[in-house]
Amino acid sequence: MREEIIKKTEKFVREKLKKEATGHDWWHAERVRKMALRIAKEEKNVDLFVVQLAALLHDIADWKFHGDDATIGLKLAEEWLKKLGVEEDVISRVCEIIKEISFKGAGVKSRMKTKEGMIVQDADRLDAMGVIGIARCFATGAKLNREIYNPEIKPQFHKTFEEYKKAKSTSINHFYEKLLLLKDLMNTKTAKKIAEKRHKFMEQFLDRFFKEWNCED
């Protein structure tokens, strides 16, 4: 029964995120699921059913592309799971993860409480780092009409989610406002180790970017 629910959810997410071009697509959901399962191997007493459902559904409707509505993805996920007849307890746990998973600003602390939630959150944040994270950053920036870089616009330390959502910035600033902060926000030991390498690559990328921007190389 649970395997069938996972398979139907895979198909649902594939269809829902078809032709999504910012890196918040089916392949992002699948990478997050795979990374979450990898991290879960190092943990004990983890509900892999909850982990997989949360990973697959966490970006079913990203608020950035739905009028800043942070509730729409949660509603879609809940409706889908109810349609499949998933137990209320599981739905509640999955939806709680989806509600809390997103980065909400540098000054906003995560309220993820469950081990499953921490694992999926780590997996999602790892996908925002490294080579893939860089590619997703610029793809999203283009979708949101952000400049690649503008030295007259400085990075901001957002204290609330509302402030973070409304901020107008650049793709390069996004590294300083979010991506470079993720390494120190990981919950699990496994994710922390992986994050170190991806963080270092982003630093190398930025070093190269500014050398070329300043015509030094």
Tell me, what's the pLDDT at 65? 43
Nearest Cα residue to 25 out of 103, 126, 140, 117: 140
Domain limits, the chain: 2-211
To which residue do tokens 């015509």 refer? 215
Q: Is 14 helix (H, G, I), strand (E, B) or coil?
A: helix
| 161-190 residue pLDDT tens | 666 667 788 999 999 999 999 999 999 999
Bridge partners of residue 147, in order along the sequence: 170
2-211 has which fold? Hypothetical protein af1432 (1.10.3210)
Q: For the ranges 52-61, 65-74, 103-112, 133-142, which has the lowest average pLDDT? A: 65-74
C-alpha–C-alpha distance, residues 189 and 42, integer Å: 9
pLDDT value at residue 61: 61
**Whether the predicted pLDDT of 21 surpasses 50:** yes
Cβ atoms < 10 Å from Cβ of 125: 27
Q: 66-75, 76-85, 161-170: which range is least confident on average?
A: 66-75
